[in-house]
Amino acid sequence: MIKGGFAGKILIVDLTHGMITEKKLDDELAERFIGGLGICFKLAADYIPPGCGPLAPENAIILGVGPLVGTSLPSTSRVFAVSRLPSSNTLGWCGAGGVDFGCQLKNAGYDHIVILGKADRPVYLSLVAGRVEIQDAGHLWGRGVEDTCETLWQEYPHPAGVLAIGQGGENGVVFSMAFIDRIATLGRGGLGAVMGSKNLKAILVRGKKGIRVSDRREYKQLITPFLRQIREYPHLKEWQRMGMIKSFPYVSTDIYQKIRKRRIACVSCPIGCKDAVEIADGDYQGTTICSSSVINLFIPVIYGLEDYRESIRLVHLLDGYGLDTFEFFGVLKFAQVLQEKGLVPPSDLDGEIDLLSLASLETWAERIALRQGFGATLADGFTGMINRYGTETKQYAPALVKGMHPYTGPGSALPWDLFGTMELGQILDPRGPHVGSGGSPTYFARRPLAVFYKHFERMGIPKNAFDRIIVGHSPETHQLKVGRLLKYSHSWFGLLGSMGICVRAQINRFYHAELCAGFYEAVTGIPTTVQDLRERVNRIWTLYRMLNLRDDSGNRAAENIPEQWLRSGGFKEYVTEQPLNRTAIIEMIGDYYDEWGWDRLTGVPPEQLRHSLDL
Amino acid sequence: MEAYSIHVFEANCTFCRRCQLGCSNAYTREFNQNTANIRIEVSGLTCSITFSDDCRKCGICVDHCFYGALQKVAKEAA
């Protein structure tokens, strides 16, 4: 029986009929799917019909937070959304740091929100002071993300949480995102467009209910040494001072110190990875921006924009429109090549694309977000452009997986060359490519395999799997089976996400599967061992797989290996650093399926496994 | 009787609200920002940190802060 952690209710909002209902989050659902991300997948199975289009009213948006959200456990603010996403046409998860929103959703009395149908006019959903209302959003429609959040905060001050879209989402740009509290990005893959298709501009949450834990004594016994461990971590202050710049030094420390205005943390987080910066000089002096990670502000620098101030300025604009910066640059580069090759009819061409000019980039950001002229074509993403200009254009596209541009790899924004779990995961997460360590030790390149074992234990990998992941009789002959390790990286991600713990490498490194089981039991009162968590995550991720197999969007054929990864200058094998070939990657994919207990060739979970997981 | 003087360094605050979670849990047996005796009023990129009249200055909020936004000084030493 649930005794703590969960708010205990699921809110169901039918925008078509203006109906608001709620149901109890029952014990069995919590026990079988842990919470947060896990329950989001189960609700997606219940509410998202097979075959529905991402932007059709039949698609649903499932939002959720885990049972630890709202407690004082470190970095437990994670928010997830699950929906069918337009960029990849997969049923996928979107995750973000919850800032205030995650905690406030619990305080408002709900663990999950299910959004169905389509409103007949722009609306926002308001969960304030115990009342749930569908409100008119006419005054918000057409506004950017920050403007929308600030407008709502004028009426409902902090710590009210706001999930909002910009003009990109309103206009169905397939790479538009939703933003939490104007900072955290939710929805690479087009969650913004899904919200826009429902005429849903924002969700506002402000509650007054507290979160209780089941066993206060056990909670205190577990958290006290855990907090001490984090506090005594020798690099903590450096993380807090430097943020993500410590890992990704795209600009100098001097520049970072010059622009840094404030570090911002999600509720309960001791790391504080989010940044508020202000341009200190030049044409855009005084421009301030809050970002989910300061490195996001310098993505345009990676793509060639030389002046970091112009880079910040551009990301400020893109965030306002609610567009994915990575996909924005990828699509523009592709369009530029097609223009040069003469593959875009002159009648479609209505402006030059100059990736090194801020003025040009600003113009295209606006034209894409507002679907003006050629911008409307770009707004349909890679798949839309290939469909419009013919399959022969595919040869000029960057590496694509499920219609999206991977973050890492040759030609991508992050040109990392070693093929670890995150790189393989760009193919094998059903949602399509994204960035995230999943807690795997391969996230930090060229780590000796000898240190992997302590991470295996931390991630709850069963001991009998260790020798399947690292094979060979001596350190000299050791081989890393990336596919098998990815299974456990996804498991760890699924576990953290279902509990509500942030997956950022800087914080998940402190968590341990044993500790997770202890915290989960202490908070919820649900008896839980590490083995229980393993079984529940197997259920969660296998269900996720099955949801995508329903529509063929997650089948083996969709999990294509980009040719660009195999060419000269492509990915290298993680340990030997030899060039990768297709056979090796196919072997990894088979290993991944096999480790889950799915069919090695097709990735289909066999009936016996589905039965044992009660799916 | 107040145990400590609590010194506030608002510029260091990241709005993580750990102080409020710790305070409310200690005195109401649940995590709830609304019932905490320490208040964080965020406005734009700044904040104001104040304490309710009921606050005993027990220092639990300081113990929960990771950012140096709060500091406790024993009354005897103050």
How high is the ipTM of this complex?
Answer: 0.96
Whether residues A433 and A529 share a domain: the answer is: yes
The reply to whether A176 and A256 lie within a common domain is no
Specify the pLDDT at position A443: 84
Angle between helices A381-389 and A325-340 (to 10 degrees): 20
pLDDT-derived band at A384, boundaries 50, 70, 90: very high
For residue A533, pLDDT beyond 80? yes
Q: Taking the CB of residue A268, how many other CB atoms lie within 10 A of it? A: 28
Buried b (16+ CB within 10 A) or exposed e, A342-372: eebeeeeeeeebeeeebeebebbbebbbbbb
Report the percentage of chain A scoring pLDDT > 90: 82
Judge if A333 and A291 occupy the same domain: no
- Residue A438 in any domain: the answer is yes
- A472/A607 same-domain check: yes
B21, B34, B45 member nearest A72 (Cβ): B21
- Up-side HSE of residue B31: CA atoms within 13 Å toward CB? 31
Nearest residue to A207 via CA among A161, A248, A255 = A161
Mutate to test the interface with A, among B9, B10, B12, B21 (most CBs of A within 10 A): B21
Give A448-501 pLDDT, tens digit per residue: 899 999 999 999 999 999 999 999 878 788 899 999 999 999 999 999 999 999
What 3-state class would DSSP assign to A486?
helix
Is A269 within 8 Å of chain B by CB? yes
Distance from CA of B75 to the nearest CA of A (A): 25
DSSP A240: H
Give Cα A537 to chain centroid, integer Å: 18
State whether B45 and A268 contact (CB < 8 Å).
no
Q: Are A68 and A495 in contact (CB under 8 A)?
A: no
Q: DSSP letters along A550-591, please?
A: TTTTTSGGGS---GGGGSTT--EETTT-PBP-HHHHHHHHHH
Number of domains in chain A: 4
Residues 6+ apart with CB under 8 A from A228: none
Residues A313 and A350 grouped into a single domain: no
Query: Considering only residues 123 to 162 of chain A, which have any Cβ-Cβ distance to chain B shorter than 8 Å?
Result: 157-159
In sequence order, what DSSP letters do the residues of A150-208 get, joined into one string? HHHHHHS-TT-EEEEE-HHHHTT-TTB-EEETTTEEE-TTTHHHHHHHTTEEEEEEE--
- A76 at the B interface (CB within 8 A)? no
Domain boundary residue, one of A184, A206, A228: A206
Rounded Cα distance between A573 and A584, Å, is: 9
CATH number of the domain residue A382 falls in: 1.10.569.10
> Quick check: A152 and A160 in contact, CB under 8 A?
yes
Parallel/antiparallel/unpaired status of strands A90-96 and A184-186: unpaired
Which residue in chain A has the smallest CA separation from B22?
A72
| Chain B residues near residue A276 by CB distance under 8 angstroms | 45
Longest Cα–Cα distance of chain B, Å, equals 37
In a domain, A18, yes or no: yes
Q: What is the pLDDT of residue B77?
A: 56
pLDDT in tens, A72-87: 999 999 999 999 999 9
Confidence of residue A582 (pLDDT cuts 50, 70, 90): very high
Mean of pLDDT values over A511-521: 98
Strand order, beta sheet including A131-136: A131-136, A123-128, A200-206, A161-165, A178-180, A184-186
* Termini Cα distance of chain A: 22
The shortest C-alpha distance from B59 to chain A (Å) reads: 16
Q: Which domain holds residue B39?
A: 4-74
Residues A597 and A520: their CA atoms lie apart, in Å, by 26
Question: Are A317 and A332 found together in one domain?
Answer: no
Residues A46 and A81 in one domain: yes
A301/A15 Cα distance (integer angstroms): 41
Range name among A132-136, A292-296, A464-468 with the lowest pLDDT average? A292-296
Interval A4-22: pLDDT, tens: 999 999 999 999 999 999 9
* Cβ <8 Å between B17 and A212: no
Cross-chain Cβ contact A267/B42 below 8 Å: no
User: Residue A436: pLDDT above 80?
Assistant: no
Task: Tell me which chain B residue has its CA closest to the CA of residue A216.
Answer: B29
Determine the Cα–Cα distance for residues A413 and A406; give it in Å rounded to an integer. 8
Smallest Cβ–Cβ distance between A72 and the set B14, B18, B42 belongs to B18
Cross-chain residue pair B30–A216, CB shorter than 8 Å = no
**Half-sphere exposure for A518 (CA within 13 Å, toward CB):** 15
| Among A170-179, A230-239, A400-409, A549-558, the least confident range | A549-558
Q: For residue A80, give the H/E element and its range.
A: strand A79-85
CB of A186 within 8 A of CB of A166? no
How far is residue A93's CA from residue A426's CA, in Å, rounded to a whole number?
13
Does A69 have pLDDT greater than 90? yes
- A210 shares contact with chain B (CB less than 8 Å): yes
- Do residue A247 and residue A381 come from a single domain? no
Structural domains counted in chain B: 1
Q: What DSSP state is assigned to residue B35?
A: G
Q: Are A243 and A273 in contact (CB under 8 A)?
A: yes
Residue A281's domain comprises 239-321
Amino acid B7: pLDDT: 97
Question: Domain check: are A430 and A562 in the same one?
Answer: yes
* List of residues 6+ apart from A480 with CB closer than 8 A: A442, A449, A452, A469, A470, A574, A575
pLDDT exceeds 60 at position A331: yes
Is the CB of B16 less than 8 angstroms away from the CB of A270? yes
- Lowest mean pLDDT segment, chosen from A100-109, A354-363, A551-560, A604-613: A551-560
Is the separation of the CB atoms in A597 and A605 below 8 Å? yes
What is the pLDDT at residue A292?
84
Q: Are A149 and A47 in contact (CB under 8 A)?
A: no
Average pLDDT over residues A394-407: 92
Kindly provide the b/e burial profile for residues A515-554, where b requires at least 16 CB atoms within 10 angstroms of the residue's own CB: bbbbbbbbbbbbebebebbbebbbbbbbbbbbbbbebebb
**β-strand pairing of A90-96 with A178-180:** unpaired
Burial (CB count <10 Å: 0-12, 13-18, 19+), residue A6: buried
Residues of B within an 8 Å Cβ radius of A: 11, 14-18, 21-22, 24-25, 28-35, 40-43, 45, 64, 66-67
Q: Which of A131-140, A276-285, A556-565 has the highest mean pLDDT?
A: A131-140
Which residues from chain A sit within 8 angstroms of residue B17, using beta carbons?
100, 103, 159, 267-268
CATH number of the domain at B19, please. 3.30.70.20
Same domain, A491 and A558: yes
Give the mean model confidence (pLDDT) for residues B26-48: 95
d(CA A330, CA A316): 18
Please name the residue that has the structure tokens 């509650």.
Answer: A207
Please tell me the predicted confidence (pLDDT) of residue A31.
Answer: 95
Residue A257 in this model has a pLDDT that exceeds 60 = yes
Whether residue A257 is found in the same domain as residue A365:
no
Q: Select from A257, A288, A321 the last residue of a domain.
A: A321
Q: Answer yes or no: do A467 and A487 share one domain.
A: yes
CATH of the domain at A566: 1.10.599.10
